[in-house]
Structure 1
Amino acid sequence: MNRIFLSLLAAILFIGCSSPEENPTKPNIVYILADDLGFGEVGYQGQEKIHTPNIDALAASGMVFTNHYSGAPVCAPARCILLTGKHGGHAYIRGNDEWRERGEVWDYAKAAADPNLEGQRPLPTGTVTLASLLQGQGYKTGIVGKWGLGAPTTESIPTKMGFDYFYGYNCQRQAHNLYPPHMWENERKVPLNNPIVVPNTKLDPEADPNDPASYAKYQQKDYAPTLMHEKVLSFLEESKDEPFFLYYASPLPHVPLQAPEEDVDKYESEFGDEAPYDGSRGYFPNRYPHATYAAMITLLDQQIGEVRDKLKELGLEENTIIVVTSDNGPTYTGGVDFDYFESSKPFTNGYGRTKGFVYEGGIRIPMLVSWPGKVQAGSTTDHISAFYDVMPTICDLLGIPVPADADGKSFLPALLGQEQEEHEYLFWEFPEYGGQQAVRMGKWKAVRQNIVKEENLEIELYDLSVDPKEQNNVAETHPEIVKKMEEIMKKEHTTPEIDRFKMAALGDK
């Protein structure tokens, strides 16, 4: 018997051997996607300044993936790749496309008032998503958090892309304020009790930057992460009698630096006084930037703990798979001090190496999976995997066909402690930040930079087994590996349907 048959047989035995009362045949799935959470920003990965006890406890109760990757180094393409199972060389959305031909989409106030200016470019009508596959298997499907894959007036909104329920931000730009003027619930725009403060609004000229009162306008009444979390707990309560898939796409800890005052105060006491952030690198100024950023991650951690507590309360924990991960690496802007927190440790920090870039700090992300009684507690795997493996894994779990155009490979065997078939390679393509491609093949990592900006096709090569920071380009001494990487990059690239994502140096017309 081959390994694929063995893994499928094991899955069937795990989920089908007991009576429905003891072990329902379809496990619930809670997929928690943090926003810009760095590889080194959680305790179980060595973070020392930010407290994440609930995430750490989940890691101890399940399996940690040390070689898991996002599908892209920024929001929209990463989410597209996650939900469609296609890597960046095949995906429809390959970058953050704000769909500018509609008009003044970057005018926050106008977009807040006009749904025709809100949101990102839509997926094609009828796109098969992870949610629509699960819907077809009798799952109740919900997304709470940030969507970013289609404007409110299009056919590419959550409720038309496989989700029974949606609450949160439709638009990534609107998420640049955690006290927004509205949220969306399903297809209804829900006003919030927050006057509009446009992102990048600076302190008043006469304001004292050392006085916390000067920052009052950036702290309002309805805090989006809290409202979203309330909806998450309600969704779990309302779905307890049927199998469910919850995609909790939290906006935390994406900037701007905004967190409830009581949460910031705890870290202010711990860290001591610090220099204010003046807003010069975008988003909003903040009196205590270190304390606020830490508070945002700890609030996320607290909410994850409350999700687990709710599942326990409902008697669902043992039949629920919980995944905690991030959409990409940490940010380099908005007042976040990546050096202070060592956000990408053990990889390289800072602009050019974290969010927005296909080096390890931009795409290697924390991931844990907890499934009591099925996934061994306290286990770790070095299996190399990516977002586009999630769809095949869930299809494998449920014994349903993987869509023919999906690029991934199930990591269910790794979860069950069985022999895992490895990828020959992983592939990334990202047309923004100069235009980039990358390949991970075993210990080798190939990177192309500035494909668009400079029509550069030169390949950098790194041996991650000895150089995880990608500091020593060994392309000249391994021409045979470089040639193989070049062949992979050519093979996996397809011409994008959207002109914005085309790269002429790769032959796109």
Structure 2
Amino acid sequence: MIRKISTLSVLIGFLLIGLESIAQEGNYKPNIVYFLADDLGYGEVGVYSQEKIKTPHMDALAKSGMRFTQHYSGAPVCAPARYILLTGKHAGHAYIRGNDEWDERGDVWNYEKAVADPSLEGQRPIPTNTVTLAKKLKEANYVTGIFGKWGLGGPGTEGVPTKQGFDQFYGYNCQRQAHTLYPNHLWENEQKIMLNNALIPPHTPLQSDADPNVENSYSDFIQKDYAPQLIHEKALEFVETHKDSAFFLYYASPLPHLPLQVPKQDVDVYREVLGSEKPYTGDQGYFPNQHPRAAYAAMITYLDNQLGELVGKLKELGLYENTLIIFSSDNGPTYTGGVDFDFFESSKPFGNGAGRTKGNVYEGGIRVPMIASWPGKIKEGSTSYHISSFYDVLPTLCDITKIEIPEAIDGMSFKPTLFGEEQPKHHYLYWEFPSYKGQQAVRMGKWKGIRKNIFEGNLSIELYDLETDVLEEVDVSRKHPDVVERIAAIMQREHVPAENPKFRFKELGDK
């Protein structure tokens, strides 16, 4: 009798353990950190071939996980890239397809007026009914927070983060306000937070009578409250506060987007390494800087250190093992404002500089670094050649968290790639950009088709074989008319006239 009771007890014990295990598996939710740099080039990260700028924490993240070599932004500039990231829709179906400053409100580019009147701040709002990644994760009871730059709806509109699925927001609501890293104010949720900085309008040049070789000539442009540091502190606080909940942290850093502003001690490190250089006086826009190369490198290393501190916080709190971290950039690097893109080879191995990077659908403008790390889930030190895009992020995170993937999207989950499983592939990726004279692009296997200068009546398509020509220098469209025809059909099919008339292409038949 005693033996029978003992055996029964053991069986019941095993059953209870099994049920508990099933319950835990059903409720299993990893923390998610999506860390987005601003204008960080493919070639500006150590593991992507950068040699002059130090990025040890980005490199360490890649060593702990997977480096993607063929990941693309959804657009070559800020607002549409971020909209596409959060909605899973490509630019031919997106509500936001370009940087729309919503200037019918008034003088939105007047910094002083916008600071005084929040109704002039921010970009055109995304609609109330927009299905965002944050809203989807709320379905699985995630705590959601965004820290950094928003750009998808001005203060007081339905487009602010707290009305688009985020429980907490701290940072820049407006992209234009982010043209200074020592701003007059930031936003916390829907409250304006004043900072201890003087009001210096972005793009103010060096005074004409100032000596560009004297440090004090630049004193107005380095102030007290450095926005990237304040944003970082709030992001760390969010992790600390919600350490006992499943959380989604969207860390949308304003770095290394211009202007060239970073604490002096960080610049000094690179001054010793890079040596003397010619000052930048602000003649190409953005603020001047006495040591532009050193400052730009320091901004990227500053960003890298913040990534490292965030990973350190996750480890300190015992959260690291259960956190998926994805690091990327919103588009390719800039080519103005004192940045020496040739010196740093910012888009290596792709085409560099004006017309080839930010604002353009060539590889340097839209192919971006992406690193994914999740201990025990993603193979350490692995490399993926899977062709993916920003509009794949929403379905991937829904897939991982067992949330129903919306039907009206263009993305495809790359969860199988992360876990080393067989991965379905896109037949093609699509971009359109109603700025910089109008552009479309298609990536189809090794082929890349580009249509530019659409607003000038050009509908011809350049064709490049990316296996042999990553610089996109040799147009082979005449040799492969069949491929061009297929790409033209994709461009026609995937372009749906935008709701906003500012994003329409009359040359493509839009009314």
Confirm or deny that 1:119 pairs with 2:122. Answer: yes
Which aligned runs of 4 or more in structure 1 are off by greater than 3 angstroms?
Answer: 16-24
Q: After superposition, what is the alpha-carbon deviation per residue over 1:135-167, rounded to whole angstroms, capped at 9, x for unaligned?
A: 111000000000000000211100000000000
Q: Which amino acid aligns with 1:321?
A: L
Task: Report the counterpart of residue 375 of structure 2 in structure 1.
Answer: 372
SS at 1:477 equivalent = coil
Confirm or deny that 1:251 pairs with 2:254. Answer: yes
SS at 2:69 equivalent = strand
Task: Report the counterpart of residue 152 of structure 1 in structure 2.
Answer: 155
> After superposition, where does 1:389-400 map in structure 2 within 5 Å?
389-400=392-403
CA contact (8 A) 1:346 1:469 kept: yes
Give the Å deviation of 1:327.
0.1
After superposition, the Cα gap between the structure-2 partners of 1:17 and 1:52, relative to the gap in structure 1 and judged at 3 Å, is: farther
Question: Hey, what's the Cα distance between the residues in 2 that align with 1:255 and 1:46?
Answer: 22
After superposition, the Cα gap between the structure-2 partners of 1:318 and 1:109, relative to the gap in structure 1 and judged at 3 Å, is: same
Give the Å deviation of 1:394.
1.1
Confirm or deny that 1:473 pairs with 2:481. Answer: no
CA contact (8 A) 2:32 2:248 kept: yes
> After superposition, where does 1:481-496 map in structure 2 within 5 Å?
481-496=483-498
Give the Å deviation of 1:20.
8.0
Aligned match for 1:325, one of 324, 328, 331 = 328
CA contact (8 A) 1:435 1:450 kept: yes
Q: Which amino acid aligns with 1:223?
A: Y
Aligned match for 1:417, one of 412, 416, 420 = 420
Give the Å deviation of 1:17.
10
Question: Hey, what's the Cα distance between the residues in 2 that align with 1:303 and 1:409?
Answer: 30
CA contact (8 A) 2:156 2:190 kept: no
Question: Hey, what's the Cα distance between the residues in 2 that align with 1:399 and 1:446?
Answer: 35
Q: After superposition, what is the alpha-carbon deviation per residue over 1:233-284, rounded to whole angstroms, capped at 9, x for unaligned?
A: 0000001001000000000000000000000000011111110011111100
Q: Which amino acid aligns with 1:477?
A: K
Task: Report the counterpart of residue 190 of structure 1 in structure 2.
Answer: 193
Aligned-pair RMSD on alpha carbons? 1.3
After superposition, the Cα gap between the structure-2 partners of 1:399 and 1:24, relative to the gap in structure 1 and judged at 3 Å, is: closer
- Unmatched segments (≥5 aa) in structure 2: 1-18
Task: Report the counterpart of residue 11 of structure 1 in structure 2.
Answer: none
After superposition, the Cα gap between the structure-2 partners of 1:33 and 1:20, relative to the gap in structure 1 and judged at 3 Å, is: farther
Q: Which amino acid aligns with 1:374?
A: K
CA contact (8 A) 2:125 2:157 kept: yes
Question: Hey, what's the Cα distance between the residues in 1 that align with 2:31 and 2:106?
Answer: 41
Aligned match for 2:313, one of 310, 314, 327 = 310
SS at 1:116 equivalent = helix
Give the Å deviation of 1:201.
1.1
Question: Hey, what's the Cα distance between the residues in 1 that align with 2:452 and 2:209?
Answer: 44
Identity over aligned pairs, percent: 65
Aligned match for 2:82, one of 74, 79, 83 = 79
> After superposition, where does 1:202-281 map in structure 2 within 5 Å?
202-281=205-284
CA contact (8 A) 1:383 1:414 kept: yes
Aligned match for 2:29, one of 12, 26, 32 = 26
SS at 2:52 equivalent = coil
Confirm or deny that 1:294 pairs with 2:305. Answer: no
Give the Å deviation of 1:205.
2.2
Task: Report the counterpart of residue 3 of structure 1 in structure 2.
Answer: none
Tell me which structure has the larger Cα radius of gyration: 2
SS at 1:410 equivalent = coil
Task: Report the counterpart of residue 93 of structure 1 in structure 2.
Answer: 96
Task: Report the counterpart of residue 199 of structure 1 in structure 2.
Answer: 202
Task: Report the counterpart of residue 461 of structure 1 in structure 2.
Answer: 463
Give the Å deviation of 1:22.
10
Give the Å deviation of 1:47.
0.4
Give the Å deviation of 1:48.
0.5
Task: Report the counterpart of residue 72 of structure 2 in structure 1.
Answer: 69
CA contact (8 A) 1:326 1:365 kept: yes
CA contact (8 A) 1:23 1:319 kept: no
Give the Å deviation of 1:400.
2.3
- Unmatched segments (≥5 aa) in structure 1: 1-15
Question: Hey, what's the Cα distance between the residues in 1 that align with 2:49 and 2:215?
Answer: 31
Question: Hey, what's the Cα distance between the residues in 2 that align with 1:458 and 1:17?
Answer: 62
Question: Hey, what's the Cα distance between the residues in 2 that align with 1:81 and 1:91?
Answer: 7
Q: Which amino acid aligns with 2:481?
A: P
Give the Å deviation of 1:396.
1.2
Question: Hey, what's the Cα distance between the residues in 2 that align with 1:24 and 1:341?
Answer: 46
Question: Hey, what's the Cα distance between the residues in 1 that align with 2:296 and 2:199?
Answer: 22
Task: Report the counterpart of residue 4 of structure 2 in structure 1.
Answer: none
Aligned match for 1:180, one of 179, 183, 203 = 183
After superposition, the Cα gap between the structure-2 partners of 1:119 and 1:330, relative to the gap in structure 1 and judged at 3 Å, is: same
Task: Report the counterpart of residue 60 of structure 2 in structure 1.
Answer: 57
CA contact (8 A) 2:134 2:165 kept: yes
Question: Hey, what's the Cα distance between the residues in 2 that align with 1:346 and 1:440?
Answer: 17
Give the Å deviation of 1:398.
2.0
CA contact (8 A) 2:139 2:403 kept: no
What is the TM-score when the length of structure 1 is the normalising length? 0.95
Question: Hey, what's the Cα distance between the residues in 2 that align with 1:448 and 1:290?
Answer: 34
Question: Hey, what's the Cα distance between the residues in 1 that align with 2:205 and 2:97?
Answer: 32
Give the Å deviation of 1:395.
1.4
CA contact (8 A) 2:136 2:403 kept: no
Question: Hey, what's the Cα distance between the residues in 1 that align with 2:23 and 2:152?
Answer: 36
SS at 1:166 equivalent = strand
Question: Hey, what's the Cα distance between the residues in 2 that align with 1:256 and 1:398?
Answer: 38
Question: Hey, what's the Cα distance between the residues in 2 that align with 1:264 and 1:284?
Answer: 15
Question: Hey, what's the Cα distance between the residues in 2 that align with 1:18 and 1:320?
Answer: 20
Q: Which amino acid aligns with 2:262?
A: A
Question: Hey, what's the Cα distance between the residues in 2 that align with 1:175 and 1:273?
Answer: 29
Confirm or deny that 1:107 pairs with 2:110. Answer: yes
Question: Hey, what's the Cα distance between the residues in 1 that align with 2:129 and 2:321?
Answer: 34
Q: Which amino acid aligns with 1:43?
A: G
Task: Report the counterpart of residue 39 of structure 2 in structure 1.
Answer: 36
Give the Å deviation of 1:399.
2.2
What is the TM-score when the length of structure 2 is the normalising length? 0.95
CA contact (8 A) 2:137 2:403 kept: no
> After superposition, where does 1:426-441 map in structure 2 within 5 Å?
426-441=429-444
